[in-house]
Structure 1
Amino acid sequence: MPRDTLNRDQIIRAAVEVLDTEGVEGLNMRRLGARLNSAATAMYWHVKSKDDLVVLAADHVWGEIELPDPAAIGWRAAAAALALGAHAMAGRHLWLVSAMSTHLVYGPGKARYDDRCLAVYEAAGFSGPDADQAAATVLMFVIGAVQGEAAESAWRARLRRGGADEQQRFHETIERIGEIAQGFPRLRARTMPSVEETRTLPDESTFAFGLHIILDGLEARLAEAGSPYPK
């Protein structure tokens, strides 16, 4: 694809595809150029660097989340929808957690999401910095919930790039985890899952339980003397 037929949106979308399969470490202009049938140097006419491209791609995926209307469904249902949307989005793009730990990700996509979160918590009755804290608390829970699978995805991508047998190493790691657990009574008392059953990301019921507890806590704060913080 000649340089003059490329545009930045095409490059960002292709970068997201590479990031989804190879992670942040696996993204480079040569691989991206091959995907777009273009010279790697042509990328630099549209983006400054790989770091700049990671930020653009990360902001782009935040734009995938549907924004609920708190006036139509109530603040709590809207807060849950925003959290579930972010959780699902991060699950589709597991590299995002890694990118956010090394890059300052911000742009129209993330700003759009943050602004609606603030609107939701202001609708609930939080104001000023209290709305900021409420939104940040829920987002930290969302990011933490997807951290395990994101770490596993990055580890698998690194094994692939190094030529290791990805599945064999995964089996060996799960077996080692089981051996370690035997040394702790509460872990030993629980049945260790098989390799096929093992998932590092909490299932949807676990995520829903945690989100419900957090929203309960926020609602309780609002009920205490009409203030989000106890006296």
Structure 2
Amino acid sequence: MPERARGNVRGDEVPTVWARGRARRGQGPTLSREQIVRAAVELLDAEGADGLSMRRLGAKLGAGATSLYWHVANKDELLELAFDEVMGEVPLVEPSGDWRADLLGFADGMRAMMFRHPWVVALFGTSPNVGPHGLRQSDAAARILVAGGFAVEDVDNAISVVMDYVIGSAATELAWILRVRREGVDVERWTAALQDYLREALKPYPTLWTFWSHGLAMEDEERRDQRYVFGVNRVLDGLETYVARRAERE
């Protein structure tokens, strides 16, 4: 069966799998959508998005690929469902009266989820995050900011600024982590060799050498966490300044 079809429904007739109803009870095989999604997440965690296909997922479930089309029209819809499944792992942060701490908790939860499921990073911005878990998270973040005094028209922009930083920093860190895993990079040898090269190459740039040598010597999980904490707090500083200045103008 072609990837773009399920029964008589074309996969491009709706913008998202969430706009399509579930298969009716009594139709098709007994395999549930929940079983399919859980298995898809496991396959994605093990092999990434390139390792996911309807055929491979069917084999993992002990069912033919055709059985999956009762629930999803194609791989894109499957990725949407998997996306929302892992969004459900992010702790829901309710407004506590301290919008900055709440938003930081939201950001931290998103980052932790991305590190558990690196494949999800590429889906932000390309796959509609409009499933039940995604909408619940967006609503919580919006309520945090509204309670913190952000104007309604600024809420989406503020959430985007925070998420852009979290996604961007995670993507950079994960690119290196996944390369190390995939290629079996000896990080200590790699770092030492790069330092030997840069020690000579950066002689005309002593300030840059100080920065590089310090950064390379600490390029581990602790250093990456420090970099993230520094960055996300500077983003929150900017938002705090913005909302204070807006309040003064009003």
Deviation at 1:103, TM superposition (A): 3.1
2:119 to 95, 110, 123: 95
**Structure 2 counterpart of 1:57:** 82
Question: What is the CA–CA distance in structure 2 between the aligned matches of 1:170 and 1:28, rounded to whole Å?
Answer: 33
Do structure 1's residue 37 and structure 2's residue 62 form an aligned pair? yes
Do structure 1's residue 167 and structure 2's residue 188 form an aligned pair? no
Cα gap change, 1:11/1:170 in structure 2, threshold over 3 Å: closer, same or farther? farther
Question: What is the CA–CA distance in structure 1 between the aligned matches of 2:222 and 2:128, rounded to whole Å?
Answer: 24
Higher gyration radius (CA):
2
**Structure 1 counterpart of 2:132:** 108
Deviation at 1:41, TM superposition (A): 2.2
**Structure 2 counterpart of 1:216:** 237
Q: Is this contact kept in 2: 1:98–1:150, CA < 8 A?
A: no
**Structure 2 counterpart of 1:12:** 37
Q: Deviations over 1:103-139 (max 9, x none)?
A: 3343222111111111111111111221111111111
2:173 to 149, 172, 194: 149
Cα gap change, 1:27/1:177 in structure 2, threshold over 3 Å: closer, same or farther? farther
Do structure 1's residue 46 and structure 2's residue 63 form an aligned pair? no
**Structure 2 counterpart of 1:80:** 104
Aligned pairs for 1:165-204 (under 5 A) are 166-167=183-184, 178=195, 181-182=198-199, 183-184=201-202, 185=205, 186-189=207-210, 190-191=213-214, 193=216, 198-199=219-220, 203-204=224-225
**Structure 2 counterpart of 1:163:** none
Q: Is this contact kept in 2: 1:8–1:46, CA < 8 A?
A: yes
Provide the TM-score with structure 1 as the length reference: 0.79
Q: Is this contact kept in 2: 1:94–1:149, CA < 8 A?
A: no
- The 3-state SS of whatever aligns with 1:5 is coil
Question: What is the CA–CA distance in structure 1 between the aligned matches of 2:179 and 2:162, rounded to whole Å?
Answer: 27
Provide the TM-score with structure 2 as the length reference: 0.74
- The 3-state SS of whatever aligns with 2:184 is helix
Question: What is the CA–CA distance in structure 2 between the aligned matches of 1:173 and 1:45, rounded to whole Å?
Answer: 49
Task: Point out where structure 1 has 5 or more consecutive residues left out of the alignment.
Answer: 160-165
- The sequence identity of aligned pairs, in percent, is 36
Higher deviation after alignment, 93-102 or 50-59: 93-102
Deviation at 1:9, TM superposition (A): 1.0
**Structure 2 counterpart of 1:226:** 247
**RMSD (Å) for aligned C-alpha atoms:** 3.0
Deviation at 1:169, TM superposition (A): 9.0
Cα gap change, 1:178/1:34 in structure 2, threshold over 3 Å: closer, same or farther? farther
Question: What is the CA–CA distance in structure 2 between the aligned matches of 1:106 and 1:199, rounded to whole Å?
Answer: 35
Q: Is this contact kept in 1: 2:179–2:185, CA < 8 A?
A: no
Cα gap change, 1:64/1:4 in structure 2, threshold over 3 Å: closer, same or farther? same
Deviation at 1:26, TM superposition (A): 1.1
2:226 to 190, 202, 205: 205
Cα gap change, 1:138/1:214 in structure 2, threshold over 3 Å: closer, same or farther? same
